[in-house]
Structure formats: structure tokens, C-alpha cells
Structure 1
Amino acid sequence: MIHQLLTAEIEQHVEAMFQESGNERPAHLKILTEHPAHPEHGDYSSNIAMQLAKIWRKAPMQIAGELQSRIEQNARVQGLFSKVAAVAPGFLNFYIDWEVWASGVYPTSGERTNPRKGTKVLVEHTSINPNKAAHVGHLRNSCIGDSLSRMLSHAGYEVEVHNYIDDLGNQLADTVVGMLHTQTEGSFPRFGDFCWETYAKVNQAYKAQPELAEQRSVVLHAIESGTSNLAWMGALVAERIVREQLDEMKQFGISYDVLVWESSIVRAGFWDTTFELLSKTEMFHKVTEGKLAGCWVLKNLDEAGEAAADNLEYQGDKVLVRSNGILTYTAKDIAYHLWKFGLLQNDFVYKKWEDRLWSTAVQGTKKAIGHADMVINVIDYRQQYPQEMVKLALEVLGYDQQASQLKHVSYGVVSLSPGTAAGLGMDTSEGKSSYAMSGRQGVGIKVADLLDRMESVIAAKRSRKAGISSRSIAAAAIRYYLLKYQLQTEVIFDLEQATEVTGNTGVYLLYAYTRANSILDKAKKDARLQTLETRFTGSLLEVQEYHLLRHIAYWPETLENATSQLTPSLICNYAFELASLFNHFYSACPVLKGSEEYAAHRLWITQTVKHTLHQALELLGMPTPKRL
């Protein structure tokens, strides 16, 4: 990557200058490069001279001039830059030599081998309760997790994708209680839709018949024991729902390697082993008095020493085993993560669920699954504290390296705009800016319904339908809509906005990609251009072409930043700007008209745009069609 080469070059000269001066280099000094907002200030810039001025007590321009001279004498970063300029108040500006860049005849990285090769990353995402149809909030999780998995694989990691199925939870028990004690009438296209209504009905029934809530405990206990009629009913509901959810995700290009069922964690005895390990530490203990008497809690390392002995509900404590012996979700999650990192002797057995997808099972075969070097959990921001407790448990047990490699990709939830909420029958008289979806109230946008609606919008707006299906375009548009926001942003979902096909949308990107394909296909059919060899010619570079190439040059480092920061929205932002710049180029610079020299030059640019946009679309999990 260019910025790596440039940073290494500056680093070399700065280090030499420190040695020559006899000064010790401060540990905090960091060399950074940036993209100037205005092209006249170069394609890359560094403020290192101004940082050094404070250390050496010299004028920034004097230091910048010295660095400029050294870099010019060293062939301007292996010939990649045509010009290096020291400008007030002390910046170093670098101008790419586009002939050299286009030739690719320069090192593309400072490393000969990929250090990520052989590093296993386990990504857990989706993990929807198996008690009803999935809604658009769940889909945001899945789209983020799937794109992260693609990005990490592209970067060279060995990636294993898990979908955790909570088949022992209250939500599944509620649906079973609803099926037994409420009446849901009507025709439903999917079992999950029936369960959606049933789940809402039983939560309404709990309010009218408080005694009915006792049935939840009965069903939950039966499901956990796993041997009764109720247990089988819960298992059948969960399996049917999971199959429907997986089918829905496939339509968005989302897949998994492993389904991990919570019941399997219990059967495999993960918690028993974990309990034994934690019991050997001072941070895990049984409370003997107060409201938490009889509970086993994990105390926060930082806060334990400050907590008063009689303050047993101190916020740093976390209950892992309730006084009745029931495990909390966090307890099972801690055990699960010890397994993820290969720190338990216990293991699952697996059966094949479908092609290239395995599931934990009661009986099955052993597989080389888990044993990760890094674990990434895609879970919304409300789960931050439980995730911190899992990390704390690893630290308490002495697994500091694993704790440092446990990453929580936190994101904002999806809520409904006032207009969309009102359309679903919600009371919006409070005048709030957004309204939360509620499974208990049966309010939300189901994934299947959204896809159906978007497909209708796409089909109505297409003048030609010779390319991929309207449903595939619809799925791509929805994926992009959910990925383009920064992770921490609350997505206020508006049906009208989500179904737009112009502006910063997935459809706009697909049109730009197919336009590049169309230009290249026409060139192959043009007798004048069929045998033309595409090539870049710097002397022909127009301003629109320069802006386009400048953006393309930034792609490798944009992708590196998006991957290291685990942020797919950076790729969305990049791809939208690339599509916009390409469309400006197409309007201002006719590709197939004019001399053969111009055609060869502009076809080369078009081919480069197509290649770059192809990569971005694939990492975002979007199709790359030749035609729309």
C-alpha cells in the first residue's frame, strides 16, 4: 500500500536524523500520512516536521526542507512520487507519479508475507432467538457480521462463522406457552409469522392472566431437562424457525459454518469445567447474606478492592449462578468463550445440517471447529456489559492474551421512523423521533415482508429486466442501507427511504458497476476497438480522470482501515464516492469516441474502476451483475 511505503520512507529518514543529532527519539512520536482535502496540496501529506520542531526546537520549514531533500535523493519513494514539496507552516506534500502507479512496478506492501495467514478468527453473528420471524433489526446484525467475515477472509485470516441459537431461553418458552394457551387464527405464509403473532398474544395474555406466567417456568424447566413432550415441542419449534431464518439470510448472501445450540453447551458440561476453574480464583465466590444470598458472583477486578464487604449488589459484581442453581446467560457465555479459544477439554460433536453447514448435536462426529486466535462477537450496544464480563472472566483465569483478542463489534439498534411506526398501527401521538420495534407487542418490519416490498418497488422502476432478478437487487439494496451507517448510529428505519433507488443507495452502486461492464462489452464488439490494447497515458489525464484515479489509489488503505477497525461502513462510503466519480468521468470523458489513443486510455481507467468496485461490492455481500 502506498501509505505504508511512504510512512516507511519517512520513518527511515527521521530515524537517521535522530541518530545524527544524538537525540533520543520520544516513544510517543508517530508518523502519520493523510489525504489532503485539496488536490493542489498533493495526494498525500505529513505533518511530521511540525512534530519534530517541538522536539528539536527548530523551525518546521527547516526540518521539512531537510526531509524533502533526503526523500528526493532517495528516488522519491522508489519513484512512486513525481514531486515532494515542503510547504508552510511545515507540511510535506507528495504528488503521485501516475505513470508509475498505473504500471504497478513498485512494491505494493512493506511485507513479503501476510502475517495474518494461519490466524484463525471466529466471528459470531445473527444469533436470533428461535421463537419467531426475524425483523430488520436482526438483519442489520447479520449484514454487519457477514461483511466483516468477508473482509477478514480477504485480508488473509482463516475465518469461521458461528450462529448461536438460544434454544433454552424465555422467548422460546413464551412461544410454546402461547401455542398451548392462546388462539392465533389466520393464514400465515411462514411458520415464523404464525409464531410472531403467537408471541405477541401470549405477552398480552400475561398481563390479563398473571397466573399464566407460571407456565413459562414450567415450559422453561421442561426445555432445559430435554426429555418431555414440552421439550420436544420446544425443539421442533426452534428447528423450524431456524430453518426459515437461514433461508431468509441466504437471500441476502449470508451463510454460516456452524450452528451452536445453547442446549449443546449445557449437555457438553462446559459450565461444570468453567465453574471448577473459576472456583480456584478469589474473584468468584458464593454470597452468603443479603439479597444475593446463595448466588455465585464474579467481581470486577478494578472495583473489587473498593467495594464494601456488605455491599453485595455493587455494580461491579455479576451473578453467574442464581440462588436456585439456574445459570445466567453470562455464565453460559463465559463457558462458551473458553471453548471458542480452545481453553476447555470439553468439546461438541457435530452433525451436518446442510451443505457446508454443521450443527452441534446430541450425537455426531468430532470436527476441528473452534480453537480461535481471535473472537469477534457482533452484538448490539446493549450487550456491552455482559461482553465485558466475559472478557473479565478470561482475565481472572489468567488468559490475558485471549481477553485482548476478544472483540465486541457493537452497533446501534434499528428503530422505526414515526411514519413507518404509524403505518404499522403504533401510537405515535408522543411525537418521538423514533419508535422501538417490539416483538412482545408484535410491532416491527419482518425481513421477509421488507424483501417482498422492496422487490415490488424495484420491479416497478426497472425499464428492462434482462439482468439479475428484482429480488436480488432488492436484497442488495437492503444490505447496503443497513451497512452504510456508522456502527454506533441508531438506524431509524423508514420504509419510503429504504426503498429509494437513487442517491446513496445500493442500486446506484450496481448501476455504476453495470455501466462499466457495458462500456467494456461495447468496446469488444466495436470493430475499431476490438484489438486495441488498453493502456494508461499520463499526458492525456483530464481533471475528472485524475480525481477518479486518486480515489482508486486510496482503495487498499481504505480497505485496510475498514478491516482493522471492523467497520464495513467505510467501504460503503468509499464505494459510493467511487461510483459518483466514475459517473462524472463517464459524462465528461467519452470513452469510446475520439482517437484510439484516448479510447485505450479511458478503457484502462474503466477496467480499473470495474475491478475496484467489484472488490468493494463483494466485500459488502452485494452481487456483481453484468447487466441490470
Structure 2
Amino acid sequence: MLSQLMITSVQQAAIQVCDSFGIKLPESIPVRVEQPSSIEHGDYATNIAMQLAKLLRKAPLHIAELIKTELEQDVPFKQLVSATEVVAPGFINLHIDWEAWANHPFELPPATHEKIVIEHTSINPNKSAHIGHLRNSCIGDTLVRLMRKLGYEVEAHNYIDDLGNQLADTVVGMLHTPLSKEHARFGDYCWDVYSSTNKAYEREPALVQHRTEVLHALEEGHQNLSWIGLLVAERIVKEHLEEMKQFGIGYDLLVWESSIVREGFWDSAFELLKNTSLFHQETEGKLAGCWVLKQLGGDKADDPDSEHSMDKVLVRSNGILTYTAKDIAYHLWKYGLLSNDFVYTKFTEDVWTTSTQGEQQAYGKADMVINVIDYRQQYPQLMVKQALEGLGFNEEAQNLRHVSYGVVSLSPSAAADLGIDTSDGKASYAMSGRQGIGIKITELIQQVANVIEETRSDKNGLSSHAIAAASIRYYLLRFALQTEVVFDLKQATEISGNTGVYLLYSYARALSVLNKAQDAGVLPSMPAHFPDMEKAEHALLRHISTWHDTLYAAGRELSPSAICNFAYELCSLFNNFYSACPILKAEADVQRFRIWLTSLFKDTLGEALEVLGLPTPSRM
């Protein structure tokens, strides 16, 4: 990676300068090398001399000159840098020899973990999925693609909570709250059943007892109610997989919560936890009879019934396991820390599932675990990490990463379309499955496809449905993880600006140029010598050179939006280059360089689109 090579060289030069003064370069002074916003200030620049001025008690310009002298003796550095200049008040500007860069074999750093398990989607199997669920899936699938691109072995899990309240509510509704309404899909029917059941609980509190009966039956697993719950869950999950497939989202393994309970995983985890001082059964108070996991370094919360109690209940007094208990057992298995293992069968042609009968497969035994779960689940995730630490699995706890993200809400116009009262003038409105408020994925993609179909002039390229899926996926990825996404249909279907459609059009434009060049007998090969570059060419090439740095940083920070930002800037620079610099009508040497640059852009954007899960269209 180019920037890492620059950092290494500048850091070594700074160390040598400090040594000459009898001082060791402190770790508290980081060496940063960044691309200036203006090309006139170099391709890279560093302010390390100004950072060292106080330590060395010398003028920044003097220190910068000393560092420059050291850099000019660095052979790998000199092979890639054509000029190093010192400017007031002490910046060091570096100008890259782009011909040398193009001939340099840059590689990504080797993967530091052999295997990563990434858990994402994990929708309750009780109704159709909505756009809030889709953000989770898009983030998770992009992280799977990103980490595979970085050389990791990655296993994508989808955890199915088939023992939870939500599925129980849908089963209760099917049996006790009749619904007569036409539905095209089973999940949409269950959407209305789930909503009507939660409203019925308010009118008929006695119905809640039926939920408890269903929960016990689901966990026990051999009753009529158990089979009804299983059939509902399996049908819903198949529809979820079909919905996600439209967005290029796939999985390696479905892990069913019922498998964790019935195959003894919790029993094994329970025995391990009992041997720690953190896990015990309460004998008095509101939590009498409950098994709780005590938070390290904290006293009991004032309200032990609180969702965020300092003592987390893992087993309720009635024997029912909490979600966190099963999640702890699941994570012990993910790391290969239990003697238990699942058996597996095919759920679809491409996806395996845990099962009561099946065959052995090499799933689990991860070096790192990444969980994509919204910010509201931060506390349970911390409890899983704490359980690992309490059991002495500190390395595993350290390598457990929670990718937290902001939820999706509705813009006032989107909310109004769903019949929500927006007279209070709020900036956004929350979705609620219990109230039946939300935009289903199938309805959303059809709406966006209809808008695209009506506005596009050329309908012979990528289908409107495929463009719609790409537009929605990119829209949900481009925001920083912690940002609340306020979904607005108009914004999601825009074709200019920072959108998925803009990226696809840019790729198709580059491919069209290359096809025309090929028809004229000119193939994209790197020229023997680079011509003097125009500003637009220089800016595009400079940004392309940061691709590996961006990829590596996005993997380190688990940030899909970093790839989006790179891709959007890349397309903006290419389209500026396309407008400012004639390609096919240029003179021979310049034409050869510009066709090569167009090909380099196309390949780089193609890699970014692959990581983002977007298509690479030959025509739009």
C-alpha cells in the first residue's frame, strides 16, 4: 500500500533524526502521511516536523530539512517519490513518480486471523422483513465481502430466534385472533397477525397466558404447538432468504436457537459458568430462583428487573432461558470452546442449517467473531463478552466485535404514506412491528423499480428491478454506521449525486469507452512512458492509488461507508476526467494513456462494487 510505504519511510527518517539528538521518538507522536486536498501541495504530505519541534527544541523548518535528507537516502522511498519539498511552517510535501507507482507490485497486508464468523440479519421468523432489517443485512453482507477481499476465511451466519416472544405472538395470533384478509405472501399475512395480536393483548390481558404456553412448547419441542411454530418459522425464513437474495445477500449457515437448547449447548455452557464466581442463583428478592450473571466491577442495579440490570438474568425462575443465555452458549460454540457440535442439513441449495439429524461439517471454530446488531443490543453484547472473560477466554473476548449501527426510521412523507399522523412535525418516525408500521422489503423494491422504469430512457440494459435493488442497498450503506437512516423514497430513487445508480452509470460509461477503443483496435495496456498529465488525470490516478489503503482501513474499522465514500469520489473524478480530457480522439500516446487510465478506473470501481455487493453493468 502506497500510503503505508510513505508512513514507514517518514517514521524511519523521524526516528533517525531524533536519534541524532539523543532522543527516542515517543510513541505518543504518531507519524501521519495524508493526501492534501490540493494537488499543488503534493500527492502526500506530513506535519511530523511540527510535531517534533517542541521535543527537539528546533525550528520545524530545520527539522523538516533533516527528515528530507534522511528520506533522500531511503532507496525504496526514492524509487517512488520524484520530489520531496519542505514548505513553511514545516510541512514536507511528497510528489509521487506515477510511472514508477504503476510498475510497483503493491499488495495488501496478510490477514491476521485465519477464520472469521460474521453473524448478520438474524430477523425474528414471525413476519415479512422491513427496511430496518435490510440495513443490517446489507452491512453484514458487505463486511463478509470486504473481509474475504482482504484474504480472510469468512463464514456468514444467520441466527434464527425460533424460541422468542415474537414467534410465540404470531402463533398465538394464528390460533386465537382470527384474521380474514387477502395476502400474496405468508409473511405478509403474519405481519398483520402479529400486529393484531399485540393489539389484542391490550384488550384481552388473559391472552398473554397463551404466549407463555407457546414459549414453553417451543422450547420443549415435541408438542402440537412446537410443530406449528416450526412450520411458521421455516416458511418465514425461506421468504426472508428469497428477499435477501434480490440484493445479492447470502449465507453459509442458519443457526437455530432451538438447536442450541435441544442439543445441549446451553447445558454445557451452564456447567462452565457455574464454576465462576460471576454466575449464581438468587435466593431472595425479585430475582429469587433466577440464575444471573453479575457484572464485573459493579454493584446490583437499583431495579433488578431493568432490561439493563447490573445483574443479567440468564435463566428465569420458571426455567425459561433468556436470549443472552443462549447467545453465550452460541458464542462459546463459535469459538470452538464447547465439546458439543451441531449436525447439518441443506436448507436451500446454497445454505446449510443446524438440524436434529444430518451430517458433520466444518463450521465454527473462529479466530474472530463479528456481530452486526443495532445499537440497542449493545448491553447484551457486552454481557456475552463479559461471560467469555469470566470464563478465562480473554483472547476470544478481545476478538469479539460488535458492529453497532443506527436504526432506520421513516421520513415524514414516507410515514404519511403509511397513514401515520405526522401533524406533530417530527423529523422522523419509528417503525413498529407490533403496530404493523413499516415498509416491507418486497413492497419497497417494487416501488423503487416502478420509479426507475418510468424515468429511464434506455430499457435494454440492467433491469429496473436490479437497479432498484442496487439503489436501495447503496442508500443503506453510504451512511456512517451510527447514523440513524431516515428513509425517504424520493432520495432513494435519485440518479445523481451520491447514489448507487450514479456508480453503475459511471462503470457502464467506462466500459463503453473501452469497448469503442477495442473496436478501433486499441487495447488497454500501460504505456511505456506517461505523458505530462492534465490535472483531471492526475487527480483520478492519485485517488485510484488509495484503493488498497481504503480497503485495509475499512476492514480494520469494519466500515462499509468508507468504501462508499471512496467509490463516489472515484466516480466523480472519472466523470470530470471524461468531460475534460478527450479519450478516443486524443493523439496516439495520450490516447493510449487515457484508455489505460479508463481501464484502471473500471477495474478499481469493479472491485469496489463487488465489495459493496452491487452489479457491474455493461449497459444501463
Given the two structures, how large is their TM-score scaled by the length of structure 1? 0.95
Pick one of 110, 115, 120 that aligns with 1:120. Answer: 115
| Matching residue of 2:191 | 196
CA 1:536–1:173 in structure 2 vs 1: closer, same or farther (change >3 Å)? farther
Q: Deviation string for 1:135-165 (max 9, x for gaps)?
A: 0000000000000000000001100000000
CA distance in 1, matches of 2:291, 2:524: 75
CA 1:388–1:536 in structure 2 vs 1: closer, same or farther (change >3 Å)? farther
CA 1:532–1:338 in structure 2 vs 1: closer, same or farther (change >3 Å)? closer
Q: Which moved more, 1:139-148 or 1:498-507?
A: 498-507
Residue type matched to 2:169 in 1?
Answer: D
Asked if 1 retains the 8 angstrom alpha-carbon contact of 2:132 and 2:407, the reply is yes
Asked if 2 retains the 8 angstrom alpha-carbon contact of 1:4 and 1:110, the reply is no
- 1:426 equivalent to 2:424? Answer no
Q: Which moved more, 1:597-606 or 1:616-625?
A: 597-606
Structure 1 unaligned blocks of 5 or more: none
User: For the aligned residues, what is the CA RMSD?
Assistant: 1.8
Q: Deviation string for 1:531-574 (max 9, x for gaps)?
A: 68552753331111111111111111111111110000011111
* CA apart distance, 1:19: 3.5
* CA apart distance, 1:475: 0.5
CA 1:39–1:424 in structure 2 vs 1: closer, same or farther (change >3 Å)? same
CA distance in 2, matches of 1:395, 1:475: 41
Asked if 2 retains the 8 angstrom alpha-carbon contact of 1:76 and 1:84, the reply is no
**Secondary structure of the corresponding residue to residue 95 of structure 1:** strand
CA distance in 2, matches of 1:532, 1:406: 44
Residue type matched to 1:338 in 2?
Answer: L
Q: Deviation string for 1:99-142 (max 9, x for gaps)?
A: 2122x23x52596xx243x6100000000000000000000000
- 1:251 equivalent to 2:246? Answer yes
Superposed counterparts of 1:161-560, under 5 Å = 161-304=156-299, 315-526=309-520, 529-530=521-522, 535=527, 537-560=529-552
Identical positions, percent: 58
CA distance in 1, matches of 2:181, 2:305: 50
| Matching residue of 1:573 | 565
Q: Deviation string for 1:587-608 (max 9, x for gaps)?
A: 1111111322221111011001
Asked if 2 retains the 8 angstrom alpha-carbon contact of 1:517 and 1:610, the reply is yes
* CA apart distance, 1:374: 0.2
* CA apart distance, 1:348: 0.8
CA distance in 2, matches of 1:308, 1:561: 39
Residue type matched to 1:511 in 2?
Answer: Y
CA 1:264–1:233 in structure 2 vs 1: closer, same or farther (change >3 Å)? same
CA distance in 2, matches of 1:479, 1:282: 46
CA distance in 2, matches of 1:222, 1:406: 33
CA distance in 2, matches of 1:263, 1:97: 60
Q: Deviation string for 1:69-119 (max 9, x for gaps)?
A: 1212334704211111122222211111122122x23x52596xx243x61
Given the two structures, how large is their TM-score scaled by the length of structure 2? 0.97
Asked if 1 retains the 8 angstrom alpha-carbon contact of 2:162 and 2:258, the reply is yes
| Matching residue of 2:106 | 108
* CA apart distance, 1:214: 1.3
Residue type matched to 2:458 in 1?
Answer: R
CA distance in 2, matches of 1:308, 1:581: 55
| Matching residue of 2:134 | 139
Residue type matched to 2:36 in 1?
Answer: P
- 1:623 equivalent to 2:618? Answer no
Residue type matched to 1:501 in 2?
Answer: I
* CA apart distance, 1:289: 1.7
| Matching residue of 1:22 | 22
**Secondary structure of the corresponding residue to residue 200 of structure 1:** helix
* CA apart distance, 1:311: 8.3
Q: Which moved more, 1:574-583 or 1:178-187?
A: 178-187
| Matching residue of 2:553 | 561
Structure 2 unaligned blocks of 5 or more: none
Q: Which moved more, 1:85-94 or 1:23-32?
A: 23-32
* CA apart distance, 1:530: 3.7
CA distance in 1, matches of 2:178, 2:133: 27
Residue type matched to 2:479 in 1?
Answer: Y
- 1:54 equivalent to 2:76? Answer no
Residue type matched to 2:190 in 1?
Answer: C
CA distance in 1, matches of 2:327, 2:524: 60
CA distance in 1, matches of 2:452, 2:476: 17
Q: Deviation string for 1:192-237 (max 9, x for gaps)?
A: 0111111111111111111112111111111111111111111000
| Matching residue of 1:601 | 593
Residue type matched to 2:586 in 1?
Answer: G
Q: Which moved more, 1:23-32 or 1:316-325?
A: 23-32
- 1:589 equivalent to 2:581? Answer yes
| Matching residue of 2:70 | 70
Q: Which moved more, 1:18-27 or 1:530-539?
A: 530-539
CA distance in 2, matches of 1:374, 1:400: 12
CA distance in 2, matches of 1:312, 1:477: 43
- 1:42 equivalent to 2:42? Answer yes
CA 1:389–1:619 in structure 2 vs 1: closer, same or farther (change >3 Å)? same
* CA apart distance, 1:34: 1.3
Residue type matched to 1:538 in 2?
Answer: F
Poorly superposed stretches of 4+, deviation over 4 Å: 307-314, 531-534
* CA apart distance, 1:353: 1.3
CA distance in 1, matches of 2:395, 2:263: 25
CA 1:367–1:189 in structure 2 vs 1: closer, same or farther (change >3 Å)? same
**Secondary structure of the corresponding residue to residue 73 of structure 1:** coil
**Secondary structure of the corresponding residue to residue 531 of structure 2:** helix
**Secondary structure of the corresponding residue to residue 121 of structure 1:** strand
CA distance in 2, matches of 1:155, 1:575: 17
Residue type matched to 1:171 in 2?
Answer: Q
Asked if 2 retains the 8 angstrom alpha-carbon contact of 1:536 and 1:600, the reply is no
Residue type matched to 1:544 in 2?
Answer: A
Residue type matched to 1:181 in 2?
Answer: H
